[in-house]
Structure 1
């Protein structure tokens, strides 16, 4: 019932939000006579703020069109390489017509970035992805909004999340020979489980795992998020935050933890900060500070865009990670797609290096929660481990913003490179031909075409132009 009431309110508010946007533009248009009145700027700012507060926020785009690789612009092609009912595996493939740059990118590490499924879309890691693309081949798990997944596609459990991650790792290992995995926040737990199960079966595991700000052991330095999960019973969550998707969505009837409830919880954690941010936005509009106003818009376009999570997945995460601590107690059993039940044993991981990253001021995953992975992965050699605490960083600062780019990324890049196999030696003929013509201008195949006569190369260049 609550979900239906929310959708009704949203539908009623939508035309008023559009009217507020129109009024804001009209009062701010220099060609409008009303824009010259005394209070026009304030009224325009007020209407703009009303529009921002009342509008519906859809899933943002990554919008990464190019990156610099050692000073050379490289085009990015975003594509879906695997499409599952609840997740798309996206690749950000780099293209260049510069032979030297192409040769350099061909042997760079392959990184699977496992984005959190905890309310926001994977685009929250836009800065993470853009930075990694400077020196890595990058794939990202783009989780789908559960309200858009038809009931016919079945339910989605925490076990399914783990199985998805394993399928993605196998796909990249088969395509590239090996890969590294980076998990941010919530997925640190299922990623560790996925790699543990693969190691126990004797499968090829990733070259390394980088785990950032996640609740491996949520008992350590508990935060408000942890306390909520422990102070409420499993039944309370099931009875108070789970609703069925209304009829106007493809996933009608699916039990979910709605995005709008999650967003309410996010804001409730720091209401004063958000109120001040919106007040500052209003003042920036009045002053004509367009740069500061645009920063606000970009942040809240991402922050206010939320997705529904399948109820089974959400409730099982609460119980497994935050109430039973099944991973650290060694009591976690996971069901595979073929129905087998397997025990998660992190101590079986031996061939995968481990790096953990925590923010000194993280108020979502407390100090020591992520570092606890080292206590569980006893089979990993001491020389293949690293823990890094980012001074002055909160939760988002370890994977986005200046601290991520200047402090964390150099450490992560060095860790990946330290555990990246040396590229296979190329035949002499291939090394000579690479300076001539490149058949595939993507990062995967800097393989030389047969050397053509000068006149032939000129004709090919003319056709391309």
Structure 2
């Protein structure tokens, strides 16, 4: 009923949003003699804030047209290399005179399946494309996947990564941002134990919850504070008609978004107060920056119930991977089988989602990996998102990642 109530609320708000849109158009019309008066500006700003805060946000576009590759402008096009029921494997092709993409290291960037779309990594991809042949997991919204497509859990996630690595080919770097750290490490462990020639040449993890017993954060404590039955009863819902995924059990994106917003309520309320001031002052640049951020941040997707519950259970409650008890379809997962995959872990000193040491713990699990193939890096000034986006990612973190891949990622 929870999902139905949400959809009903969205439907009920639709005419009010339309009215707000119409009213804002009238108030901002140049022919309106009171357009520039403070009361009219305030009213128009309030209507825009209302519309922005209540509308449905669709999946954003990556929207790349060109990228600078070693000083040369290259055209960028998206190519779906593989289509699976719950994910598209996308390659960002770069085209320019004399550009040979085969000379650049290949990266499979694993986007987090934690509520936001893969476009959250738009800045990450843009930076990586300057020197790398980039592929990304573009996870599909579970509410749009028909029930006939079957289940999708953590085991399926791992199988997708293994298949994608085989499609891309040998010598690929597997880069997991946040949540994908665990399935990425499982995939690398299994492929290494099998001596699979398509196992990753390098593994890079950013802010990944490998061992949430270390420096637990508020999200970690929340995930471990209640029994799994509570999550199943209180946060799992069924996709309503007429969506394509009708009757699929999911963890709704709007619930995940609520938890994101609840973590930093003052930050978001302040952002909207500033947006109100920007609109009144006519500061179009600042207003556009706000809209760009929240168009991405407020666009969320549903997760399959089985994936969500298995992740809560095995990663955040029972800690199976760091305890050496993780299994993939009944097969033990042995990180000690990783012997020749260069492994870099990245943490942010101000990360309030993945605590200090949780990601670096992955290196200790690879007991048979030589020390010269391991690198743990902590940037003291970045939070969770700053590890893979923004100026410090571009200026401080990315150069270290690129150097590590080129120097160590030679399987």
Short-chain TM bin: over 0.9
**Using the alignment, how far apart are the partners of 1:26 and 1:191 within structure 2?**
52
* TM-score normalised over the length of structure 2: 0.98
**Using the alignment, how far apart are the partners of 1:127 and 1:48 within structure 2?**
27
**Using the alignment, how far apart are the partners of 2:38 and 2:120 within structure 1?**
40
Contact 1:197 1:342 survives alignment (8 Å): no
Contact 1:229 1:323 survives alignment (8 Å): yes
Contact 1:192 1:346 survives alignment (8 Å): yes
Asked if 1:251 corresponds to 2:240, the answer is no
Asked if 1:128 corresponds to 2:124, the answer is yes
Gaps of 5+ in 2: none
**Using the alignment, how far apart are the partners of 2:29 and 2:202 within structure 1?**
54
**Using the alignment, how far apart are the partners of 1:38 and 1:89 within structure 2?**
50
Residues 359-391 of structure 1, C-alpha deviation per residue, up to 9 Å, x if partnerless?
A: 000000000000001100112111111111012
Deviation at 1:209, TM superposition (A): 0.4
Deviation at 1:316, TM superposition (A): 0.2
Q: The residue matched to 2:221 in structure 1 has which SS?
A: helix
Deviation at 1:273, TM superposition (A): 1.1
Residue number among 377, 381, 395 corresponding to 1:392 in the alignment: 381
* TM-score normalised over the length of structure 1: 0.87
Q: The residue matched to 2:246 in structure 1 has which SS?
A: coil
Counterpart of 1:455?
none
Deviation at 1:11, TM superposition (A): 1.0
Residues 386-429 of structure 1, C-alpha deviation per residue, up to 9 Å, x if partnerless?
A: 1110121000000000111001100000011113559xxxxxxx
Counterpart of 2:268?
274
Residues 61-108 of structure 1, C-alpha deviation per residue, up to 9 Å, x if partnerless?
A: 111111011221100011211000001101100001x22xx14x4301
Deviation at 1:113, TM superposition (A): 0.1
Contact 1:81 1:89 survives alignment (8 Å): yes
Contact 2:342 2:409 survives alignment (8 Å): no
Contact 2:341 2:409 survives alignment (8 Å): no
**Using the alignment, how far apart are the partners of 2:364 and 2:370 within structure 1?**
12
Residues 28-86 of structure 1, C-alpha deviation per residue, up to 9 Å, x if partnerless?
A: 23233341444221111111101101111111011111101122110001121100000
Structure 1 runs, 4 residues or longer, greater than 4 Å off: none
Residue number among 388, 396, 400 corresponding to 1:407 in the alignment: 396
Rg bigger for which structure?
Answer: 1
Counterpart of 1:84?
84
**Using the alignment, how far apart are the partners of 1:329 and 1:156 within structure 2?**
24
Counterpart of 1:224?
218
Gaps of 5+ in 1: 336-340, 423-465
Asked if 1:146 corresponds to 2:142, the answer is yes
**Using the alignment, how far apart are the partners of 2:174 and 2:19 within structure 1?**
46
CA RMSD of aligned residues (A): 1.2
Counterpart of 1:187?
180
Counterpart of 1:294?
288
Contact 1:147 1:256 survives alignment (8 Å): yes
Contact 2:347 2:379 survives alignment (8 Å): yes
